[in-house]
């Protein structure tokens, strides 16, 4: 199944093979939908929006099973823990964690600034990024485990699947990352634009970053990426807006403000070649891989959904 939410506040379910529309709700979130996340089992999903509400849905039926009023401003991020037990939602300076049934387990203290993005690590820690810091909290309790500070606005975040590295894109046109074991940080400055798109591959070796029309790929093999040259993937003619690694292997999908969707085959050092490309009518908002890695979906700014089959 392919689940899609749009900025106008609608939620839609499509058959993942045929594209047939299964169900739709045009006004699930009044004012606009801001986030959608599917649980690891694919049985439930959560949506959040400008109506200050968090909704939990049954994926097959397309019916809400729980509506939670957050009433603290726009609910901008939702994320399920890898074990499927917990659902996190951020709203203004606070993040709250719920169980599958929608009962609240804990809520954080106010962060120093509005939370820009959230992510779960494999070991069920919840990470948040905001202006000035990235914070790691214990999934079940919310106890703070680590605070990584940086005087800058952290606008995007990617956790390496092995849990060792957290990377953040910053408003000041740099990518900043920390080794979690030591808290040691490195900055990759010199991006022409702000890196809103970041993605780690499944092996935790490659970090793909946007920031302009070039996809810049840092390799963490050996002693890198410090002191190494990144791979520079060039095909887009406008800024890269979204990046996503395939569920297996070193295949990367990129979408751009030029409306291009490109699939790249990467090497361990971060260099790579395009293996397929297509155009959609407007800015690419998101690209998503089907869990089996054999199909790729792109959402564009006109509200279009395009799905391609991807060969081996």
Partner 1 sequence: MNMSEKVPVTILTGFLGSGKTTLLNRILSEEHGKKIAVIENEYGEVGIDQGLVIDADEEIFEMSNGCICCTVRGDLIRVLGNLMKRRDKFDYVLVETTGLADPGPVAQTFFMDDEIRDEFSLDGIVTLVDAAHIDQQLGRSDESTEQVAFADVLVLNKTDLVSDDTLDGLEARLRDMNRMAQIVRSEQANLPVDTVLNLSAFDLDQALERRPTFLEPEYPFEWTGVYSLEPGRYELSLAEGPDPEMSLVVVYDQRADDSALRDGAELCVRQYAEPAENVLPGESIPVGTHVNLKLEDPGRKSFLLKIDRPVQVGLYAQHTAEEFDLQLVSADGTAVALTTERTWVAQHEHDDEVGSIAIERDGDVDPDLLNIWLSRLLAERGVDIFRMKGFISFAGEPKRFVFQGVHMLFDSQPDRLWGDSPRRNQLVFIGRNLDEESLREGFEACLT
Which residues lie near partner 1 (CB under 8 A)?
7-8, 31-32, 34, 50, 73-74, 76, 92-93, 113-114, 116, 131, 150-153, 171-172, 193-194, 239, 285, 301, 303
Residue nearer to partner 1 on the CB measure, 142 or 304: 304
Q: How far is the CB of 210 from partner 1 (least distance, A)?
A: 12
Q: Which residues contact 63 (CB under 8 A, 6 or more apart)?
A: 57
Residue nearer to partner 1 on the CB measure, 150 or 289: 150
**Residue 126 burial by Cβ neighbours in a 10 Å radius (0-12, 13-18, 19+):** buried
Q: How far is the CB of 301 from partner 1 (least distance, A)?
A: 7
Cis geometry, peptide bond prior to residue 225 (ω within 30 degrees of 0): yes
Q: How many CA atoms lie within 13 A of 219 on its CB side?
A: 16
Q: How far is the CB of 153 from partner 1 (least distance, A)?
A: 4
Residue nearer to partner 1 on the CB measure, 39 or 174: 174
Q: Which residues contact 95 (CB under 8 A, 6 or more apart)?
A: 88, 89, 107, 108, 111, 115, 118, 126, 128, 137
Residue nearer to partner 1 on the CB measure, 94 or 160: 94
Q: How far is the CB of 279 from partner 1 (least distance, A)?
A: 19
**Residue 311 burial by Cβ neighbours in a 10 Å radius (0-12, 13-18, 19+):** exposed
Burial profile 251-286: b = 16 or more Cβ within 10 angstroms, e = fewer? bbbbbbbbbbbbbbebeebbebebeeeeebeebbbb
Q: How far is the CB of 255 from partner 1 (least distance, A)?
A: 15
Q: How far is the CB of 66 from partner 1 (least distance, A)?
A: 24
Of the candidates 96, 14, 10, 91, the one whose C-alpha atom is nearest the C-alpha of residue 305 is 14
Residue nearer to partner 1 on the CB measure, 30 or 99: 30
Q: How far is the CB of 113 from partner 1 (least distance, A)?
A: 5
DSSP 8-state symbol, 268: T
Residue nearer to partner 1 on the CB measure, 52 or 201: 52
Residue nearer to partner 1 on the CB measure, 170 or 244: 170
């Amino acid at each position: 199944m392919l689940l899609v939410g749009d900025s106008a506040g609608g939620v839609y379910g499509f058959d993942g093979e045929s594209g047939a529309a299964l169900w739709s709700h045009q006004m699930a979130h009044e004012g606009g939908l801001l986030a959608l996340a599917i649980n690891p089992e694919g049985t439930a999903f959560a949506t959040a929006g400008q109506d200050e509400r968090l909704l939990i849905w049954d994926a097959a039926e397309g019916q809400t099973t729980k509506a939670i009023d957050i009433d603290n401003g726009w609910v901008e991020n939702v994320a399920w823990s890898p074990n499927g037990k917990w659902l996190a939602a951020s709203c203004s300076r606070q993040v709250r964690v719920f169980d599958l049934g929608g009962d609240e387990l804990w809520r954080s203290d106010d962060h120093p600034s509005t939370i820009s993005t959230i992510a779960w690590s494999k070991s069920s820690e919840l990470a948040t990024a905001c202006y000035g810091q990235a914070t790691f909290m214990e999934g079940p309790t919310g106890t703070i485990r680590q605070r990584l500070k940086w005087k800058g606005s952290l606008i995007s975040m990617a956790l390496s699947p092995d849990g060792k590295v957290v990377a953040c894109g910053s408003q000041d046109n740099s990518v900043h990352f920390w080794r979690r074991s030591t808290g040691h940080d490195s900055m990759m400055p010199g991006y022409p634009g702000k890196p809103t798109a970041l993605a780690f591959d499944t092996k935790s070796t490659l970090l793909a970053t946007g920031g302009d029309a070039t996809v810049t790929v840092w390799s963490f093999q050996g002693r890198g990426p410090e002191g190494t040259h990144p791979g520079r993937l060039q095909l887009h003619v406008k800024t890269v807006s979204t990046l996503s690694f395939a569920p297996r292997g070193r295949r990367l999908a990129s979408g751009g403000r030029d409306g291009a969707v490109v699939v790249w085959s990467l090497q361990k050092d971060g260099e790579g070649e395009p293996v397929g490309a297509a155009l959609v009518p407007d800015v690419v908002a998101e690209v998503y891989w089907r869990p089996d890695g054999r199909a790729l979906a792109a959402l564009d700014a006109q509200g279009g959904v395009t799905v391609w089959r991807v060969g081996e």
